[in-house]
Amino acid sequence: VFINRPDLKNYTIEADVMTEGNKRKMSEIGLINQRYIINLKGNAQQLEVTSNQELFKQSVPFAISPNVWYHLKTRVDVAADGSGVIRAKAWKKGEAEPEAWTIEVPHKNANLEGSPGLFGFSPQEQRAWIDNITVTPNK
């Protein structure tokens, strides 16, 4: 689901997210920033950055528990030469925000713009929840 104009750029999107399920069956839930999907993959226990699905994908391990709220935050920084870095961090809601980004993915030809949005994939009967969405300009 896209939530603004397709020509937006230089913003941070964040939200609280949760997947229902159990240790063997969870949803995927995430945010979209400048055509990149930043996705908490419950079953794979990963935080993944992807664009064009198989053409651009990188992930890091991230422990995800079902029925627990997490805060997900992401931004895309584009340099003058068109290269960029996609940054994301995730942590349990209510805990202090980590200083370091959980994942930082360089991209030689970064997406220069794109609408912020929400992503969810819910297998069978496991629902995904998103709350407290904010989009703010980068400083």
Claim: this prediction has a pTM higher than 0.85: yes
At residue 80, the 3 state secondary structure works out as coil
- Count of CB atoms situated within 10 Å of the CB of 41: 20
Walk along the chain (139 residues) and give the pLDDT tens digit of each residue. Answer: 999 999 999 999 999 999 988 777 889 999 999 999 999 998 899 999 999 766 789 999 999 999 999 999 999 999 999 999 999 999 999 999 999 999 999 999 999 999 999 999 887 778 889 999 999 999 8
Cβ partners under 8 Å of residue 18, min gap 6: 29, 67, 68, 69, 70, 128, 129
**Among the listed residues 68, 41, 49, the one whose alpha carbon sits nearest the alpha carbon of residue 122:** 41
Question: How many Å apart are CA 31 and CA 86, to the nearest integer?
Answer: 12
- To 5 degrees, how large is the angle CA 64–CA 33–CA 49? 45
